[in-house]
Structure 1
C-alpha cells in the first residue's frame, strides 16, 4: 500500500480508517478514545470542500465505529455459509459507498443536532 498523503480525497482516508478499524478492535477503541485524528481529518475535508459542512468529527467517528462492526461477511463465514460471502461482501461495499456519499457536500441538512464530543468519551 502506498503512502497516505494530505491531498488524497476524504473517501480514501475514511476507507483506510474503516479498513484498519475492521481489522483491529484495539485500534478502533484507541481511535474512538482519541478524537484528534478525526478532528484533523474532518478539518482537512471541510477546508478542501469535500465534506458536508454539518458533519462533525464525532459523526465521522461514530460512522467509522458502526461500519467497523462485524459484517455479514464475517457472520456468514463464521457460520461456514461461504456461498453467501460474495453477496454479503457486495452489500458491505454498497453500504460503505452509500455512507461515504452521504458525507459529501451537496445534500440537505442532517437531521437532529450534532452529537456532543463527550458522547464518545462517556462510555469509557
Structure 2
C-alpha cells in the first residue's frame, strides 16, 4: 500500500495504509526483517492452497472464490515471544466484489487470512503453524 502508516493504525483497502506492525522488541523486529520475504511468500502459498479447495466454489459458502479478485495486500505483522516461543502472525487481506444483488459490485476488502508461524532457533527458520480466517 502506498501511504505511510506513522500511527500504526488498522489497515483497510480504502485507506491504503502500509501494514500495521507490532514487535515485542527490536530483536524480534530484526528477526522478522531477516525472514520477511520468506514469511510473506509462504503465507501467500498457504493461503493459495487453502483457497484452491473445491469447497470455496459454491456461491452459497463464504468465502466464495468467484467473488474474489485474486488481489491481496499485507495488512499487519505481529511478532512476539509467547512462553519462550517466537510467534509470527502475517495477516493478509484479500479483495473481492460484492455480489451484484447486494451492493454495487465494487472491489473492497473481502477476506482476512492470518498465517501463523513459530520460529525454530535450531533451524534458524520459521515453521508454518496454521491459518485463521475472517470476513472483512
Report the TM-score range of the alignment, normalised by the length of the smaller protein.
0.3 to 0.5
Larger helix share, 1 or 2: 1
TM-score normalised per structure 1? 0.33
Larger strand share, 1 or 2: 2
